[in-house]
Chain A
Amino acid sequence: MKTNASKTSGRAVALPKCATGIKGLDEITGGGLPRGRPTLVCGSAGCGKTLLAAEFLVRGAVQFNEPGVLVAFEETEAELTANVASLGFDLAGLIRRKKIVLDYVHVERSEVQETGEYDLEGLFVRLNHAIDSIGAKRVALDTLEVLFASLPNEAILRSELRRLFRWLKDKGVTAVITAERGRESLTRHGLEEYVSDCVILLDHRVYDQIATRHLRVVKYRGALHGTNEFPFLIGADGISVLPITSLALNHQASTERIATGIPRLDAMLGGRGFFRGSSILLTGTSGTGKSIIASNFAQAAGRRGERVLFFSFEESPNQIIRNMQSIGLRLQPLVKRDLLRIHSARPTLYGLEMHLATMFKEIANYRPDVVIVDPITSLMDLGTASEGKGMVTRLIDYLKAGQVTSLFTSLTQGGAAPQQTESTMSSLMDAWLLLQDFEGNGERNRVLYVLKARGMAHSNQVREFLISNHGVDVVDAYIGPSGVLTGSARAAQSSLEMAAVVAGQQEAERRKREIERKRAAIMRQIGGLRSDFEAEAVELRRIDEQVGTSALRLNTERAAWGRLRQADAKTAGTRRQRRPARKHR
């Protein structure tokens, strides 16, 4: 969980650091505790000092291969082992494998009597022996101040403790020393005056009936560190501090697009859906279908083989699955294939920070591609507006850093302009869908807008959003002179349009038939004319023939007359003259 920022800040001051492995603490301290120096962890009873010390050692031994020595002044080996086992630390196993030495130092006040000068060389020898026996790099002293109760001579004790811290530094071990919180000073016996390199203060406060643990780095000599109070949790796997506000705005921006599961909605978003890793806000009054769009999104992601984590603050997992089944969304198979995990919790169960921490933990464990929070407003009601915004910022930053697409639904109050009520959150969001219902004609109809979608062309149109038992569909709402028509009004309008179209078609058919009829009549006329024409042509031929035969007869008769008149010579003479001319050529 190291960030680039923490690495560079560590290098800039050139102070070697010892990573604790505790979630978040290394980020606040810019890489860990000062290496080779003692760190004081103080806090009142029950705020997690011992646990922090133990986790520092266990994580050192397991993750960083740095063996450690735990000197316990309050709890015996068996008690400590049992206590940290509940957090998943196998202390006994680490002791067996010589990764950790646990030394229970106990001074029974009633047995002890002072008889003169002494020093704490016994403690030094035990510590030295323990360190050398396993080559320890880390030491935790929990709670050193018990010695003040057991050994009466405070002057000796103080000078010996000063010597102890000096000795730990010389030994080169990174030490964590826990101490009780004092009334006016950081620690009851003023140990902070000996440990001057790094002081961490733990705190456990109850505010509005909700207890939250806080961690603050009071002092860190020679290094930059977050000075704020950071909430932290003791969960099933140890401590996690939530330093998410320290993250900078430098996430990767993916150009990959992911579909919403509603094709028409994708079409409204430039045809390809949302950007991967973007944050999407879905606002609407109750019953406008926010959860349904969210579930559609979840199903679409699951079907692509992506992992979806669904945080529900209104419904139980089974209820969500059943309700979505009724509109044709099958979430159960996705849950079975571990592609969908639904995490339900009542918002009032614990405080904002705890919710956030639980969500972070779930996200870190499950490593989802898509996170859905339904609705985010239930959480934001738990704190003030600025706390709520801070929380959403941290959540979005965290998700964006991991390229996780996030979809938040937000329940708005009817009446107020949604753009105003959501203004705190909207600036954090990359895309914003607005669901509304329109009342009219004795019915309510859902409509959907894309209010904003950073980095993509998107539709400016209002669409009607239909929910049936086959699923969800987005259709064009009718926008006409009388306003936006939805539901039955839109249906009525479209049937009116349909009737007009049919009427038009019928008219065209009629005119077509008319013309056809006219054409047929003309054709008939043409046929009549043609037969008339043909009759006349026959007549004409007949006349021609008559004329021809009469002409022939006339010629024959003329020839006969010629023979009779002996006009043959003249015609024979002309024929003879022509023949030689032809030969000559």
Chain B
Amino acid sequence: MEKTAAGGTSGKYVLRLFVAGATARSRAAVLHVRQLCAAELRAGCQLEVIDIYQQPELARANQIVATPTLVKALPRPVRRFIGNLLNTSGLFGGSDEVEVINSAP
């Protein structure tokens, strides 16, 4: 995973995907996020996949209730997407995000 761009104010996306174990639902979520990153956000995508079974303290620190949860930490505002990401409409296409992406560079 790329770490160099973390914290930058550019149009980079910082995504954290919280899953619970290697279930079918978890794998589907990871797959979908990877596809989305590859298809829509080619370069500026930093994805971190966290298994809360392995790191339960991170679940508390990040206020995770449902799994899988995809947290878009950057760009602001923070959004949380819960579910297996099958229905991805509006995931990166929300009007506010588009403006952020367009105005940032």
Contact = CB atoms under 8 A, between A and B. Distances in A.
Interface stretch (A122-130, A291-299, A489-497): A122-130
B21 to A, nearest CB: 8
B85 A122 contact: no
A103 B77 contact: no
Nearest to A119: B67
B24 to A, nearest CB: 10
B65 A122 contact: yes
Pick the most buried of B18, B21, B63, B69: most chain A CB atoms within 10 A of its CB.
B63
Given A118-B67, A126-B59, A126-B64, A111 B52 contact: no
Given A105-B65, A113-B90, A129-B59, A122 B83 contact: no
Nearest to A124: B20
B87 A107 contact: no
A121 B81 contact: no
Given A116-B87, A117-B25, A129-B56, A123 B78 contact: no
Interface in A137-191: 147, 150-151
B82 interface: yes
Nearest to B70: A115
Interface string B15-28: 00010110001000
Interface in B37-61: 52-53, 56-57, 59-60
A115 B88 contact: yes
B56 A128 contact: yes
Contacts of B79: 111-113
Pick the most buried of B53, B64, B90: most chain A CB atoms within 10 A of its CB.
B64
B69 to A, nearest CB: 7
A119 B84 contact: no
A122 B53 CA distance: 9
B84 A122 contact: no
A496 to B, nearest CB: 96
B75 interface: no
A120 interface: yes
Nearest to B51: A125
A114 interface: yes
A108 B82 CA distance: 12
Contacts of B63: 105-107
Contacts of A117: 25, 83-84, 86
B60 A119 contact: no
Given A115-B91, A125-B56, A129-B56, A120 B65 contact: yes
Nearest to B67: A121
Nearest to B29: A116
B67 A115 contact: no
B2 to A, nearest CB: 24
Contacts of A121: 20-21, 52, 66-67
A317 B82 CA distance: 65
Interface string B63-105: 1111111100000011111111111101100000000000000
Nearest to A123: B65
Contacts of B80: 108, 111-113
A122 B64 contact: yes
Given A111-B77, A113-B82, A122 B67 contact: yes
B88 to A, nearest CB: 6
A113 B69 CA distance: 10
A118 B82 contact: yes
A265 B20 CA distance: 81
Nearest to A101: B60
Given A122-B20, A147-B65, A103 B60 contact: yes
A136 to B, nearest CB: 14
A107 B81 contact: no
B83 A115 contact: yes
B85 A115 contact: yes
A163 to B, nearest CB: 13
A126 B63 CA distance: 9
B82 A112 contact: yes
Given A113-B82, A118-B68, A125-B20, 19 more contacts: A105-B63, A108-B80, A111-B79, A115-B81, A115-B86, A116-B86, A118-B25, A118-B66, A122-B52, A122-B65, A122-B66, A123-B66, A125-B52, A125-B53, A125-B67, A128-B56, A129-B59, A147-B65, A150-B65
19 contacts: A105-B63, A113-B82, A114-B81, A115-B84, A115-B86, A116-B84, A116-B85, A117-B86, A118-B66, A118-B67, A118-B84, A121-B52, A121-B67, A122-B52, A126-B65, A128-B56, A129-B59, A150-B65, A151-B66
